[in-house]
């Protein structure tokens, strides 16, 4: 929209973000068009759809979408909207089917989206052109190593181009997994009254809040096991000191990564991490052979938060994939899928799944804390005067650290580099005139070093 000044809403020079971006319905409507209708959005994992006729339902922005494996084995996605009068043709969250039949007047569609049946067709229509009335397909569906994404934009760059350098980090999760990545079929869902951008920035880069906001939860998590809550991820539980050595926040084209680089602290919050640590040790030589020393030793097993713009987080260590679905400017749903390696011992998988439930399930110790903050930040922006305020993300600005992976690295877990990267990307997307302009640039000097080094 021409009269919105995005430079004023997100001021990168001063690291300020106007609070109206968390409340204004006009801005939200633009986000649906500029971001959710143009970016590649996570749909699910191929392991959820092994057989012909398997389907899941999800959202792309606020669009209800069916993802289904057809008789030809191809995975397609369609708007969950009947082409007759618009009723949802699928009410189930997932399952296996030969067709989707609308409950209003009974039109039915096959797994390839074609209109296959119309009650009383011969009696009530003269030559109904069924081909015109198939389900509306999502223009593009592509997979990156089993991770399925959809895009509404016909002329968007390919998924691989869109992911760009973040793929180098995603590979640590996908390629290290023994037997491939396995995702728990049905995600945990939590509805929270807040703006969708706040849980995203919280998960991809806010290391500052961990020891303070989660102090209570941390003491419980630590008390359950080995009392490690006195120092979690280099941050002391009483928030009196922080070890900034080692961990980095990395901003690259479009996406971000935060990682501890120590190869094991992803499991620092587990009450009984022993089976997982044993698995890491056993699997690590294979990962080093496949992905090299840097990724095998420093990234595999670390607490790593991969932020894929706009709303996907792949969190290694805590071991879940999380997607934030917007539901209006002041509400969102968090979907959390536990993930593990297919050939891990069952006992180890169970430890991981229990931990996901305990921390970030709907009743998770950490999920609840964060929900309160994003609700308060969003809803206080209902006040006109409060909405004129600007939030500040200036921590670590200008601090750089050498890093041999892609992207520009900034030191420490307590840093706001990833959050700044997210809002810069948000502004770029809101100002873009086509899907190609959404993709940002990684600092060129850094990339050259990696690719030819």
Q: How far is the CB of 121 from ligand FES (least distance, A)?
A: 12
Catalytic residue among 105, 226, 230, 404: 105
Nearer to ligand FES, 83 or 410 (CB): 83
Q: Does 85 bind ligand FES (CB under 6 A)?
A: yes
Backbone angles phi, psi at 160, to 5 degrees: -65, -40
Backbone angles phi, psi at 418, to 5 degrees: -65, -40
370 binds, among Fe ion, ligand FES, none (CB under 5 to 8 A by kind): Fe ion
Q: How do beta strands 140-144 and 115-117 pair?
A: unpaired
CA–CA separation, 196 and 65 (whole Å): 19
Q: Does 408 bind Fe ion (CB under 5 A)?
A: no
Nearer to Fe ion, 182 or 370 (CB): 370
Q: Does 140 bind ligand FES (CB under 6 A)?
A: no
Q: Does 367 bind Fe ion (CB under 5 A)?
A: no
Nearer to Fe ion, 247 or 439 (CB): 247
Q: How far is the CB of 246 from Fe ion (least distance, A)?
A: 20
Site of tokens 């760059």? 157
Q: Is the Cα dihedral 167, 170, 171, 174 positive or negative?
A: negative
40 binds, among Fe ion, ligand FES, none (CB under 5 to 8 A by kind): none
Task: Determine the size of the site formed for ligand FES (CB under 6 A).
Answer: 9
Q: How far is the CB of 219 from Fe ion (least distance, A)?
A: 15
Q: Is 335 left (phi over 0), alpha (psi -120 to 50) or beta?
A: beta
> Which neighbouring-strand residues pair with 67?
56, 77
Q: Does 104 bind ligand FES (CB under 6 A)?
A: yes
CA–CA separation, 62 and 18 (whole Å): 24
**Binding segment for ligand FES among 41-49, 97-105, 208-216, 396-404 (CB under 6 A)?**
97-105
DSSP string, 174-236: HHHSTTSEEE-SSPEEEEESS-THHHHHHHHH--TTHHHHTHHHHHHHHHHTT-GGGEETTEE
Q: Does 82 bind ligand FES (CB under 6 A)?
A: yes
CA distances from 163 to 55, 111, 166, 302 (A): 25, 29, 6, 21
Q: How far is the CB of 370 from Fe ion (least distance, A)?
A: 4
**Binding segment for ligand FES among 13-21, 83-91, 162-170, 239-247 (CB under 6 A)?**
83-91
Q: Does 97 bind ligand FES (CB under 6 A)?
A: no
Residues 378-407 contacting ligand FES, CB under 6 A: none
Q: How far is the CB of 71 from ligand FES (least distance, A)?
A: 23
Catalytic residue among 209, 353, 379, 436: 209
Residue of the chain from 24, 341, 370, 416 that contacts Fe ion (CB under 5 A): 370
3-state secondary structure 26-65: HHHHHHHHHHHCCCCEEEEEHHHCCCCCEEEEEEECCEEE
Backbone angles phi, psi at 304, to 5 degrees: -130, 125
Q: Does 105 bind ligand FES (CB under 6 A)?
A: yes
CA distances from 450 to 3, 18, 162, 245 (A): 41, 36, 19, 22
**Binding segment for ligand FES among 19-27, 99-107, 131-139, 253-261 (CB under 6 A)?**
99-107
Q: Which positions ≥6 away from 202 have C-beta within 8 Å?
A: 209, 370, 373, 374
Find the distance separating the first CA and the last CA of the chain, reported in whole Å: 43
Structure tokens, 207: 């290391």
CA–CA separation, 109 and 86 (whole Å): 13
Nearer to Fe ion, 176 or 304 (CB): 304
Catalytic residue among 45, 214, 255, 279: 214
209, HSE (Cβ side, Cα atoms, 13 Å): 22
Nearer to Fe ion, 305 or 349 (CB): 305
87 binds, among Fe ion, ligand FES, none (CB under 5 to 8 A by kind): ligand FES
Nearer to Fe ion, 151 or 203 (CB): 203
| Residue 214 designated active-site | yes
Q: Does 84 bind ligand FES (CB under 6 A)?
A: yes
342 binds, among ligand FES, Fe ion, none (CB under 5 to 8 A by kind): none
Q: How far is the CB of 125 from ligand FES (least distance, A)?
A: 13
CA–CA separation, 234 and 252 (whole Å): 24
Q: How many CB atoms lie within 10 A of CB 375?
A: 17
The greatest distance separating any two alpha carbons of the chain, rounded to the nearest whole angstrom, comes to 78
37 binds, among ligand FES, Fe ion, none (CB under 5 to 8 A by kind): none
Catalytic residue among 206, 262, 325, 355: 206
Q: Which residues bind Fe ion (CB under 5 A)?
A: 370
Which residues of this chain interact with ligand FES, rule CB under 6 A?
82, 84-85, 87, 102, 104-107
Instruction: Write out the catalytic residue numbers.
Output: 105, 206, 209, 214, 370
């Amino acid at each position: 929209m021409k009269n919105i000044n995005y430079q004023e809403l997100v001021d990168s020079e001063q690291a300020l973000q106007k609070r109206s971006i968390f409340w204004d319905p006009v801005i939200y409507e633009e986000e649906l068009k500029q971001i959710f209708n143009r970016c590649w959005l996570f749909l699910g994992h191929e392991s959820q759809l092994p057989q012909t006729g398997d389907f899941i339902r999800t959202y792309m922005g606020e669009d209800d979408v069916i993802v289904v494996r057809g008789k030809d084995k191809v995975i397609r996605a369609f708007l969950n909207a009947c082409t007759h009068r618009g009723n949802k043709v699928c009410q189930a969250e997932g399952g296996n089917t030969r067709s989707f039949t609308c409950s209003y007047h009974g039109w039915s569609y096959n797994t390839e989206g074609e209109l296959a049946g119309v009650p009383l067709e011969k009696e009530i229509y003269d030559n109904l052109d069924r081909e015109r009335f198939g389900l509306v397909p999502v223009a593009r569906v592509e997979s990156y190593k089993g991770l399925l994404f959809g895009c509404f934009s016909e002329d968007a760059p390919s998924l691989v181009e869109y992911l760009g350098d973040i793929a180098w980090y995603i590979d640590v999760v996908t390629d290290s997994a023994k037997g491939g990545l396995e995702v728990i079929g049905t995600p945990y869902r939590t509805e929270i009254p807040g703006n969708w951008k706040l849980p995203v920035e919280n998960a991809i880069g806010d290391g500052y809040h961990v020891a303070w906001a989660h102090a209570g939860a941390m003491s419980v998590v630590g008390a359950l096991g080995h009392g490690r809550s006195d120092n979690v991820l280099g941050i002391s539980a009483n928030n009196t000191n922080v070890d900034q050595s080692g961990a980095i926040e990395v901003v690259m084209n479009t996406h971000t990564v935060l990682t501890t680089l120590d190869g094991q602290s992803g499991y620092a919050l587990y009450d009984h991490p022993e089976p997982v640590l044993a698995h890491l040790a056993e699997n690590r030589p294979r990962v080093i052979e496949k992905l090299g020393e840097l990724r095998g030793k420093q990234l595999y097993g670390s607490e790593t938060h991969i932020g894929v713009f706009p709303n996907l987080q792949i969190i290694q260590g805590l071991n879940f994939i999380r997607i934030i679905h917007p539901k209006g400017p002041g509400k969102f749903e968090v979907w959390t899928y536990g993930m593990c390696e297919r050939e891990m011992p069952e006992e180890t998988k169970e430890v991981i799944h229990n931990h996901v439930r305990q921390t970030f399930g709907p009743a998770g110790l950490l999920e609840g804390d964060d929900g309160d903050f994003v609700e308060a930040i969003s809803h206080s922006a209902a006040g006109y005067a409060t909405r004129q305020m600007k939030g500040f993300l200036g921590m670590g600005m200008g601090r750089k650290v050498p890093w041999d992976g892609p992207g520009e690295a900034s030191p420490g877990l307590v840093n706001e580099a990833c959050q700044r990267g997210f809002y810069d990307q948000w502004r770029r997307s809101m100002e873009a005139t086509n899907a190609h302009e959404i993709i940002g640039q990684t600092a060129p000097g850094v990339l050259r070093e990696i690719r030819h080094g």
